[in-house]
Chains A and B, each alone.
Chain A
Amino acid sequence: GENVEQHPSTLSVQEGDSAVIKCTYSDSASNYFPWYKQELGKGPQLIIDIRSNVGEKKDQRIAVTLNKTAKHFSLHITETQPEDSAVYFCAASKPDTGRRALTFGSGTRLQVQP
């Protein structure tokens, strides 16, 4: 089955700096790669996603890049703010096989220091 590895497990940055979180996946058939943000005591929330037919996607301060050849994708957060502090999860899934289930990375705890 699919395996998703995520690094680093913790990341501390100064407010205003950029943060990068990286994930690799094992199954070359995977074609959908979402990123989730989880705040304390809440469920994960989708913040951005990318499909395998594009290499980059941006939404304000957040961007995701995908390298299909290397089977890795990354989340980039620019101009970080204290409210960006949370746990971030990457995930991957394959084309709809009737399951549509996501395989998640182990998470990155991002701390933005004021």
Chain B
Amino acid sequence: DAGITQSPRHKVTETGTPVTLRCHQTENHRYMYWYRQDPGHGLRLIHYSYGVKDTDKGEVSDGYSVSRSKTEDFLLTLESATSSQTSVYFCAISGSRGYTFGSGTRLTVV
């Protein structure tokens, strides 16, 4: 999607390993979000950021941490991946036209 990219697009990792997902925006938006998408649950908010070094928890933040050292980058880290964190992760930015989502990262924890 224009202005927001996620990397990697796919990742398979082992239980107990750390994993970092990256979200990069070129829109200079203040607000950025990480959601996870699971069947039957829609999209659930993990963490969000309202500025550089300003972050806060969402509804499903356990086991996740985030960092935002630059306006354009918002990182999501799974400190020790578990099978319950197998999901599709979406980053989003909030602008005048609502949310714009990235294309997602499909993470599989084996």
Chain A residues packing against B (C-beta within 8 Å): 1, 4, 6, 9, 34, 36, 41-46, 49, 89, 98-107
Chain B interface extent, by class: 20 to 34
Bound together, the chains give a CA A91 to CA B95 distance in angstroms of 16
User: Can you name the residue of chain A whose Cβ is closest to the Cβ of B54?
Assistant: A98
Question: Chain A interface mostly helix, strand, loop or mixed?
Answer: loop
Chain B residues packing against A (C-beta within 8 Å): 1, 31, 33, 35, 40-45, 48, 50, 56, 58-59, 90, 92, 94, 97-104
User: Can you name the residue of chain A whose Cβ is closest to the Cβ of B58?
Assistant: A101
Question: Chain B interface mostly helix, strand, loop or mixed?
Answer: strand
**Contact between A100 and B59 (Cβ–Cβ < 8 Å)?**
no
**Contact between A105 and B42 (Cβ–Cβ < 8 Å)?**
yes
**Contact between A43 and B42 (Cβ–Cβ < 8 Å)?**
no
